[in-house]
Chains A and B, each alone.
Chain A
Amino acid sequence: MHNRALPYLLTLPSLILAAVVIFWPVVDLIQISTHEVSRFGQLRDFSGLDNFAALVADPDFIKALVRTGVWTAAVVGGALLVSIPVAVILNTDFYGRSLARVIVMLPWAVSLTMTAIVWRWALNGESGMLNSALRGLGLADHNIQWLASAATAFPMQIMIGILVTVPFTTTIFLGGLSSIPDDLYEAAALEGAGPVQQFRRITFPLLKPFVNIAIVLNTIYVFNSFPIIWVMTQGGPANSTDILVTHLYKLAFRIGKLGEASAVSLVMLAILLVFTAIYIRLAMRGERA
């Protein structure tokens, strides 16, 4: 009955599919990035690391790289700061809690593309509803051209990024909070610990592994996130809101610098692999504990 080959046969189809669709492109990208390549993708001479050198010499790439760092840190950090209190609140018992949960989860349920399209309209300079709301409330006396300069567009994109990251993050924390036994709090209350002390001494330390997981997973998702920026500004005006993914897309499909585009892909892959390694270590540690 025990067929030794069976588990391999069962996993084979998924391996083949992933190998063709995920790993073949990786190999292809390595090839392109180390060759001279025409606009139409014909490979010419081997060129070593020339494409990578061209990247490093390109100020647009460096700016996009730095901006990706800001974008990722701001969205992940912001989502964390919002999600911990939200999870703590949603974990208490109050009227309308299930409604509150549904509202908090809503941004997760809508595709990023659609969210970004709605915001692009809401932030419209002349007739956007954010401007009319702000003017109606007396918070602004003239229309703000939100998407016309990076100084207002990029913070808005970060805000939207945070908004769509909060549901997933809150969910992880709710899972973490439900694993903390209530009697810990009862004991602490008996000893005279106030809510702030309870949070600092009990909630936060016990939540810490979940915070770590949330940081790493969100970093990976946000680092890869394309639709918000592409739909709202396409990295513009004048590349001033470009992050690596939008820069990569422009290099590959607008400008046709395929060699440099593949080099960007590989740099991103390398960064992602580092994050993934961190995640695997964290997850393994959690499993052993």
Chain B
Amino acid sequence: MIAPKLKRTIIAWSLLAPLVVVTLFPFAVMFLTAVKPAQEVLTPSWWPSEFRWRNFYDMWVQAGFGRALFNSLYVSVIATVGAIVISIPAAYAMSRFRFAGHGAFRQFLLVSQMISPIVLVLGLFRLLASFGLVESLNAVGGVYMAFNIAFTVWMLQSYFDTIPRDLEEASWMEGGSRWLTLRKVFLPLCVPAIAVTAIFTFINAWNEFVVALTMLRSQESYTLPIQVFSLVAGRYSVEWHYVMAATLVATVPVAILFVWLQRYLVRGLALGAVK
């Protein structure tokens, strides 16, 4: 006789096993290839004969990783700061005011959320080109900003809605102006929500592919996904151990951040979408 929880554990894990294997498989491939000595990469063995940690250092130099890392950071920070600064007032208005166009704005956000950059990519390219902004990291940051606005307003509004109005009303009673109340009472309560929303915007921008692929044409302006892609695409011989080392370094920090904060994303989206 085994305890029911133990029995449930065995059943649960054995049912999940296929999915777990398929999920972890690419991570195993990534890690094991990244630490293989160069001459073993193309031999069909799983385990490396020794762990070649130097690959990471060599990759950093060879693959132009530092430059791309900087570009990715730069673009993502622009997108994040811009989207948050623009979204806070909009989300505040949506949460605290009833105004004509409230519903229309909400639907407008929904529709713009559904349109992904790939559908508009030709129009976006022409837009940037007409201002001579192809290759401009700032412009790419601006595009990310625009495509994240719907998400950030949505997330922020759903948090703002949960903050009781009494607190602000009490502050107004004491003679605080709207602006003062906003600064001293409202926004401090929202700092965690703003931080979480900002991090997700950052991750979105960090991972974006098609806009960067289209607008950034020279190596100096490549972001990480494009840089790593360029090591693979259209090359006769690919140095897979460097590619995997680069993917690993580009992926792991963001993945940890994401898994850690994922429940907030769900809470925010659930508050907004499936109320």
Contact = CB atoms under 8 A, between A and B. Distances in A.
Interface in B208-223: 209-210, 214
Contact of B44 (A1, A100, A131, A268): A131
Summarize B's interface: helix, strand, loop or mixed.
helix
B97 interface: yes
Contacts of A245: 118-119
A161 B111 CA distance: 24
B16 A18 contact: no
B209 A25 contact: no
A121 B33 contact: yes
Interface in A99-124: 100, 102-115, 117-122, 124
Contacts of B12: 89, 92, 94, 97, 100
A22 B112 contact: yes
B229 A226 contact: no
A262 B16 CA distance: 44
B263 to A, nearest CB: 9
Interface stretch (B54-62, B63-71, B186-194, B249-257): B249-257
Contact of A14 (B5, B16, B86): B86
B252 to A, nearest CB: 9
A8 B99 contact: yes
18 contacts: A6-B97, A17-B149, A82-B19, A86-B16, A89-B15, A93-B8, A103-B24, A111-B207, A114-B207, A117-B232, A120-B232, A129-B46, A132-B45, A209-B274, A213-B273, A258-B122, A265-B120, A279-B110
Interface of A: 1, 4, 6-11, 13-15, 17-18, 20-22, 24-26, 28-29, 32, 41, 82, 85-86, 89, 92-97, 100, 102-115, 117-122, 124, 126-133, 135-136, 159, 163, 166, 171-172, 174-176, 209-210, 213, 220-221, 224, 226-227, 230-231, 234, 245, 248-249, 252-253, 258, 261-262, 265, 268-269, 272-273, 275-276, 279-280, 283, 286-287
Interface of B: 5-6, 8-9, 11-13, 15-16, 19-20, 22-30, 32-33, 41-46, 86-87, 89-90, 92-94, 97, 99, 101-102, 105, 107-108, 110-112, 114-116, 118-127, 129, 142-143, 145-147, 149-150, 153, 172, 178, 206-207, 209-210, 214, 225, 228-229, 232-233, 238, 240, 243-244, 247, 250-251, 254-256, 258-259, 262, 266, 270, 273-275
